[in-house]
Amino acid sequence: MAQVVVTVRIMPDKPDADLEKIKGEADIKIKEFGGEVGKSEMQPVAFGLKALILIFVMDESLGSTDQLEENIKKIRGVQSVEVTDVRRAIG
């Protein structure tokens, strides 16, 4: 099976949410799922609200990310989680 690169956007429940703490907890959940975070960034949305963007690699054989999304939604301070991109890794 191939590796896939997944991009996830995590929206906090308020503008002053601790995105570093959310990132740390999300990293742990992604590792438990079988993925490896490669890049993260904060993306301005509006009115001081920032989204946390995580890009990670996982094996295609793990299938859907639905369970991972549900686990990340349970993190305190997270409003929503959305997979915005999935691509097969080449190389």
Domain residue extents for the chain: 3-88
CATH topology of domain 3-88: Alpha-Beta Plaits (3.30.70)
φ and ψ of 2, to 5 deg:
-90, 165
What number of residues does the chain have? 91
Each residue's pLDDT tens digit, 30-40: 999 999 999 99
Here the tokens at position 10 are: 């995590």
Instruction: Give the dihedral sign, CA 69/70/75/77.
Output: positive
**49-59 and 36-46: which strand pairing?**
antiparallel
Instruction: Give yes or no for a contact between 83 and 58, defined as CB atoms under 8 angstroms apart.
Output: no
**pLDDT reading at 49 higher than 70:** yes
Q: pLDDT averaged over the chain?
A: 95
pTM, two decimal places: 0.92
